[in-house]
Amino acid sequence: MKIFNLIRIALRALQRNKLRAFLTMLGIIIGVGAVIAMVAIGQGSKKSIQDQLSSMGSNMITIRPNANVTAGGGARVDASTANLQTLTLDDIKAIQTQAQYVSDVSPAVQGRGQAINGSLNWPTSIQGVSPDFLSIRNWPLKEGVAFGSEDVKGATKVCLLGQTVVDNVFEQGDDPVGKIIRFNKIPFKVIGVLATKGENAFGQDQDDIILAPFTTVQKRILAIPYIQTIYASSSSSETSEAATNELSQILRASHKLTNNQQDDFLVRTQAELISTFSSTSQLLTVLLAAIAGISLLVGGIGIMNIMYVSVTERTKEIGLRMSIGARGVDILMQFLIEAIMISITGGILGVILGLLASKLINVFLSWPTLVSEPSIVLSFVVCAITGIFFGYYPAQKASQLDPIEALRYE
Amino acid sequence: MAKKILEIHDLKREFLMGAEIVRALKGVSFSVEEGEFVTIMGASGSGKTTLLNILGCLDKPTEGTYLLDNVDIKELSRNELAQLRNRKIGFVFQAYNLLARTSAKENVELPLLYNSSISTTQRHQMAMKALEAVRLSDRLDHLPNQLSGGQQQRVAIARALVNEPVMILADEATGNLDSRTSYEIMALFQELNKQGRTIVFVTHEPDIASFSSRTIMLKDGKVIKDYRNENVRSAKEVLSSLPVTEDY
């Protein structure tokens, strides 16, 4: 029989049982819709995490003292202040003179305290850095100017404020640049305001910060000679790994570590962080897709079930068709095409539902969603295969009926 | 001498019912020539349904030969049998067996759908011709449940005619109809027979058999009588002699 006639017959059969056909499709519709919506949620959150992480400076490399140094015999030495003082200005100098893949490097020391301006005060943290820090973090100024190397050399009491600090220690409309604020009773002159960065991937407010020359923070606030953290940036994202290795080597040499001693520092790149988060959200996507896939499977079983019912119901029709010349393959195709029609129609409606659901989730729950074309194509293909797979057995059963028995079936 | 449409020789059919072998046909032989109107008669259990299934190429004999239009069906596969049914046989059933919720015209077209050598236009034309032959041209788009029993059976006959078969095989085709409508259907069969159609009609009513030109009587799986009907009644005449009922 010609394919066109087969499709016509299948359509007619479905028309006769509209509600039943729709209910059967519903399994597929929900399955496909769920696959598309779930993958959209997974992809959306993955992308938003990636965006947030790269807002922190995508080439940034962080070096911290390693708190858990294992001593010679393998016994663990507790993290003490002694261990945390391993990074020094000498390390910075070594990096600046030796490293090839590192474009910028900045020491960092951090302290918490109270920022006070007149009657307004705000608990925040101060970070002592070098001028390079702003380019490492990819952080422009909203107004004012950054401090320079003279300020570092002279340990001058100047600072840059994050937007959150400005909002809390200045009246609205007040221009902070040029004003004096106090941090832990030490007066600092505000010379600039940092552009707004928002929350980072961990939900911390990145704008709740004061930046000052590290020498100032070391001497006036913390009274320490060492460095807590080193921030560096690789010259490009491709050289991130080379830069990491290079930094490790330089620091090992600078710290005079022998081959059997472990690193007393920890080098972390932003890229590592991104890939950690990406793999987490990748897992999330896979899990969501798996759940959705199961509902598609259930939908497929629904089709199989209804096709079996349909074959039994229409045994007499099958008998008649066979007696007037339908071959087994004609009957097989008739029922198979009916099953495929159900699954493909369900697939189309499911894609529409999935797109709609992704949009609604985005609008009403403000979750980031990203509809990916492969998920649409994939679920559609899976749908067609589901139809063929689950429609085949009932159709096969129909095609092998004995015409005499089938004609007499009541 | 006329061409032999079907020829069966020493036809046997045995069924295995549990451990017991039931011999439904115990050696049946006859042949039917082109243009004959044969009724096969017999009580239930005489083997006429089994014989009908074999004549209709729905079943194969255990032993013996069956030539339909000079084709030995013993050699044929399931698919080839289906094709043979499609091209050479027109079935008319007791219960009409029309597809529900499908128009008269589409019901008639059904056998042609399984014949890929026939185009859509040809199919429409042939269906129209068949429906004209049973005088139902004005009921093309009626669904089976909008037609009377007699009209439904005429649609079924049109469906049997549509593929120009060598033989029309009717199975108790008047069994579900009242006597008046039965005569109408028999008149139609006689008319088709006059136009040269070969008809094999299975029935258990002697009244119906009197309209055919030849009767084969079966009993216990054997032919007990095979005679020419010298005095064929005309169903049309019987119909006109019937008292006019209040319905008309």
Quote the minimal CA–CA distance from B183 to chain A in Å.
Answer: 25
Examine the pLDDT at A136 and tell me if it is beyond 90.
no
Tell me which residue of B162, B99, B86 sits closest to A12, measured CA to CA.
B99
Quote the minimal CA–CA distance from A311 to chain B in Å.
Answer: 15
CB contact at 8 A, B41 and B47: no
CB contact at 8 A, B41 and B225: no
Out of B83, B99, B102, whose CB is closest to A325? B83
User: Which of the two residues, A274 and B106, has the higher pLDDT score?
Assistant: B106
Examine the pLDDT at A275 and tell me if it is beyond 90.
no
Quickly count: other Cβ atoms within 10 Å of residue A97's Cβ: 8
Structure tokens at A254: 């600078």
Quote the minimal CA–CA distance from B170 to chain A in Å.
Answer: 13
Mean pLDDT of A330-343: 92
Predicted confidence at residue A201, as pLDDT, reads 63
Residue type, A171: E
- Whole-angstrom distance, CA of residue A342 vs CA of residue A298: 14
Predicted confidence at residue B138, as pLDDT, reads 92
Q: Which helix (H) or strand (E) is A212 found in, with range?
A: strand A209-213
Low-confidence winner among A265-269, B118-122, B183-187 (lowest mean pLDDT): A265-269
Predicted confidence at residue A257, as pLDDT, reads 82
Examine the pLDDT at A367 and tell me if it is beyond 50.
yes
Tens of pLDDT, residue by residue over B124-169, are 999 999 999 999 999 999 999 999 999 999 999 999 999 999 999 9
* Per-residue confidence band for B245, with pLDDT thresholds at 50, 70 and 90: low
Structure tokens at B88: 């050479």
From the candidates B52, B76, B79, B86, which should be mutated to test the interface with A, based on the most A CB atoms within 10 A?
Answer: B86
The answer to whether B85 contacts A316, with C-beta atoms less than 8 Å apart, is no
CATH 3.40.50.1820 fits B34-61+78-241, yes or no: no
Out of A1, A5, A325, whose CB is closest to B85? A325
Tens of pLDDT, residue by residue over A371-405, are 888 888 888 888 888 888 899 999 999 999 999 99
Chains A and B: how many Cβ contacts under 8 Å? 60
The answer to whether B79 contacts A5, with C-beta atoms less than 8 Å apart, is no
**Chain B residues near residue A329 by CB distance under 8 angstroms:** 79
Average pLDDT of the residues of chain A: 85
Low-confidence winner among A194-203, A354-363, B2-11 (lowest mean pLDDT): A194-203
- Whole-angstrom distance, CA of residue A93 vs CA of residue A227: 13
Out of B59, B101, B114, whose CB is closest to A325? B114
**Chain B residues near residue A10 by CB distance under 8 angstroms:** none
The conformation of residue B145, written as its DSSP 8-state character, comes to: G
The answer to whether A1 contacts B114, with C-beta atoms less than 8 Å apart, is yes
User: Which of the two residues, B147 and B44, has the higher pLDDT score?
Assistant: B147
CA diameter of chain B:
56
Predicted confidence at residue B41, as pLDDT, reads 93
The answer to whether B102 contacts A328, with C-beta atoms less than 8 Å apart, is no
Q: Any idea where the domains of chain B sit in the sequence?
A: 34-61+78-241
Structure tokens at A39: 């993958």
For chain A, the residue count is 410
- Whole-angstrom distance, CA of residue A43 vs CA of residue B194: 77
Mean pLDDT of A46-64: 76
Mean pLDDT of A138-157: 88
Helix axes A270-313, A315-323, angle to 10 degrees: 70
CA diameter of chain A:
106
**Chain B residues near residue A316 by CB distance under 8 angstroms:** 97
Q: Which residues contact A88 (CB under 8 A, 6 or more apart)?
A: A225, A226, A227
**Chain B residues near residue A323 by CB distance under 8 angstroms:** 56, 58, 85, 91
Tell me which residue of A380, A390, A275 sits closest to A36, measured CA to CA.
A380
Examine the pLDDT at B217 and tell me if it is beyond 90.
yes
- How many percent of chain B have pLDDT more than 70? 98
Examine the pLDDT at B246 and tell me if it is beyond 60.
no
Which A-chain residues 4-23 have CB contacts (< 8 A) with chain B?
Answer: 5, 9, 12, 16
Examine the pLDDT at A83 and tell me if it is beyond 60.
no
pTM of the model: 0.72
Q: How distant is the alpha carbon of residue A131 from its chain centre? A: 31
